[in-house]
A and B are shown apart, each in its own frame.
Chain A
Amino acid sequence: MKKLRTRNHSVVLNRSAGGDAGITFFLVILGVIMFLPLYYTVMQSFKPLDELFYYPPRFYVINPTWDNFSDLFKLMSESWVPFSRYIFNTVFITVAGVFGNLVLSSLCAYALAKVPFPGNGFFFQLIQKSLMFSSSVGGIIVFIIIAKMGWMDNLASIIVPAWCSTLGLYLMKQFMDTNVTTAVLESARLDGASEFRTFWSIAMPMVKPAWLTLIIYSFQGLWNSGASIYIYSEDLKTLNYAMTQVLTAGIARSGASAASGVIMMLVPILVFVVSQSQIIETMGSSGMKD
C-alpha cells in the first residue's frame, strides 16, 4: 500500500498495483463474455453456407459474403406484403410514439418540477411508484380497453400507450429539478411570460440532454416492437415481426437470422454511441429518494 503525493502536495488516492491488476483482469474477462455473443452474431451473418455448417464451428469468418443479408431480403419480399411496408410501419410507430411521448412527458415533467400546484407531489409519487411494476401487470385490462376503443388492428394500439411511458418523464423531471433554477423561471414570469412560454423558451433549451435520453428510451422500445396481440393484418406488421416470421423455418436459415439480428441491433447501438455523453449527463440526476 503506497501513498503518493504529487509535487503540488495534493493527495493522490490509495491504489494498490495488485488491485488495479485484479480489476483490469475482471473487466477484460467479463467484457469478453459480454461482447462474444454480439461478435458471433456479426460473424455468423457474414458466413457463407459451407462455413455456417462447418464442424467444429469457427469463431471467425474466412470468406465473408453478403448472401445472408440478400437471402433475408428475398425471404421477406416473398410475402404478399411489400417489404417496404414493414419498414414504413416500424418507422411510423417509432416516430409517432416518440414524438407524442416527448411532448406529453416534457409538459408534465415541467409542471411537476416547477409549478407548485397542490397535488404536485402526489402525482409525482404515482409516477415513481409506476416504475416499481412492469406494464404487463395490467395487460389484460389494457387489452379490453383497447378493444373497446376500437383500436384493434390499428397502429394506435401500439402508439398511444407508448405516449404515457413513465421512465422518460421521471428522468426529465429529476433533471429539471437539478438543472433548471427556479430563479431563472421566476424572472421570466415577472417579465410577463406565460407558463407555456417559460416552459418552451427557458426550460426546454436547458434540458436538451434529458430530451435526448427520453427520445432514446422511447425509440428503443418502439423500434424493437414485434408481434403485437392487437395487430392481425399483415400490412400493419412491423419489421421485427417480419424478420422473426421468416426465420421460424429453423437451422437452415441461421445465416439470415444472424443478419436480421445485426440489422436490429445496429440502429439502437449507433444511436447510443452518438448520444452516450448526453444520456450519462441525464442519468447523473436519476437518483430516487424514498
Chain B
Amino acid sequence: MSKKSKVDHGKMTKRQWTWHMMKRYKIGYIMIAPFMLLFFFFTIIPVIASLLVGFTDYNMLEVPNWVWFDNYITLFLDDELFITALQNTMIFAVLVGPASFILSFVVAWFINELSPRTRSIVTLIFYAPSISGGAYTIFGYIFASDSYGLVNGWLLKFGFIDSPILFFTDVKWIMPLCVAIALWMSLGTSFLSFVAGLQGIDRSQFEAAAVDGITNRWQELWYVTLPNMKPQLIFGSVMSITNSFGFGGVVTALAGNPSTDYVAYTISHHIEEYGGARMEIGYSSAISFILFLIMITANSFIVKLLSKVGE
C-alpha cells in the first residue's frame, strides 16, 4: 500500500482501524467490484468448483454422488491414456518452457545494444510468430506429406529420401516438430518484457562495473544485468511456463486429435475428451484440477528459484 494515512489511530484497536479504513476507502471496493465479480465467476469459482466436482461422478444426466478420491485413483491407476497425456504434457513443458524462457532472454540481451531503429525491426521479426494467429498452419504445407511439401520436395530432389516422410503422422516426427513449432511461437510476452527490462537498466551501472574491473560480457551479465532484471525474469518465467503447459491447440491443428498412437496427446486433450465429448464432468474436473496443481506448483517453484538470482 502506497499511502500513509494521516488519521491518528493510536487509540483504535486493529479491528476498529480496519473498519475505519474500509469505510474511508469504500470507493476502492466499488471500483474493483465489476472486474472482480466477473473474475470470480469465470476464474476463481471454476477452479474451486473443479476441485469439488472432481470428488463426484457428475455427468450432467444423473444426480451426482460424492465419490471422494475415486476419480483420482482411476486416473493414476486405471487410465493409461491419462498417464500418456501427463507424460507428454510434462515433456512439452520441460522442453518448451525453459527453452522459450532462455531463448527470449538471450535474443533480448543480444539485441539490446543495437540502434533503436534496428532493434525495433528485429524485435518485430522475433515477436511476429507469436501474434500471427493461425500462421502456424503453414507448417502443414512446409512439412506436407507429399512431394509438394517444401521439405519433402527438396529432400527428394537431392536424393536424401526415396519416398516422402509422413511428418505429422510418423510417431518419430510428431513430437519434435510440435516442440519446434511451439518454440517458434514462444517469443511472446516474456520476450517483450525482457527487451523492456534490459532497456531500463541504467547505463551508468555498466560503466561503474567496467571501472570496477569487469572484463567481459559474461561477468557483466551475471553481476549487473541479471540482478537488475529479476522482476522481469520472474514475470517472464510465469508467462513461459503457463504457456507451455496449456499447449494442445497447435497439436490438434497439425497432427490431429488423437495424433498417431497418442504421441502428442496432452492433458488439455484429455480434458476435452472427457468434459466435451463424453460429458463426464466429474472425471474431467479431476483432470483439470491436477493440471491446475501442476501449473501452480511449477510456477511457484520457479518464482522461488529466480528470486535467489544475484543473492
Say whether A115 contacts B288, CB under 8 Å: no
> A116, B2: Cβ atoms under 8 Å?
yes
A113 with B47: CB separation less than 8 A: no
In the complex, whether A1 has a CB less than 8 A from a CB of chain B is: yes
Point out the residues of chain A lying under 8 angstroms from B295, CB to CB: 132-134, 137
Interface of chain A, helix or strand or loop or mixed? helix
A223 touching B133 by the CB < 8 A rule? yes
Min CB distance B164 to A, Å, is 11
Q: Is A288 close to B, CB under 8 A?
A: yes
**A269-B1 CB under 8 A given contacts A140-B271, A290-B234:** no
Q: How far is the CA of A226 from the CA of B134 in the complex (A)?
A: 10
Q: Would A137 and B288 be within 8 Å (CB), given that A120-B1, A287-B197 are in contact?
A: yes
A122 CB to closest chain B CB (Å) equals 11
Is the C-beta of B73 less than 8 angstroms from some C-beta in chain A?
no
Known: A117-B28, A287-B234. A261 touches B288 (CB 8 A): no
State the CA gap A139–B268 with chains docked (Å). Answer: 10
SS class, residues of chain B in contact with chain A:
helix
Q: How many residues of B contact A (CB 8 A)?
A: 113
- Residues 101-143 (chain A) with a chain B CB within 8 angstroms: 104-105, 107-108, 110-118, 120-121, 123, 126-127, 129-143
Task: Return chain A residues, CB-CB under 8 Å to B72.
Answer: none
When C-beta atoms are compared, the residue in chain B nearest to A267 turns out to be: B133
Q: Which residues of B contact A70 (CB under 8 A)?
A: none
Closest A residue, CB atoms, query B47: A138
CB contact under 8 A between A11 and B131, given known A123-B32, A138-B288: no
Counting chain A residues whose Cβ lies within 8 A of the other chain, the interface size class is 35 or more
A289 to chain B, nearest CB (A): 6
Chain A residues with a Cβ under 8 A of chain B: 1, 3, 10-16, 19, 23, 26-27, 30-31, 33-35, 37-38, 40-41, 44, 52-53, 55-57, 59, 104-105, 107-108, 110-118, 120-121, 123, 126-127, 129-145, 160-161, 163-164, 166-167, 169, 177, 182, 186, 194-196, 199, 220, 223-224, 226, 229, 240, 243-244, 251, 254, 257-258, 260-261, 264-265, 268-269, 272-273, 276-277, 279-284, 286-290
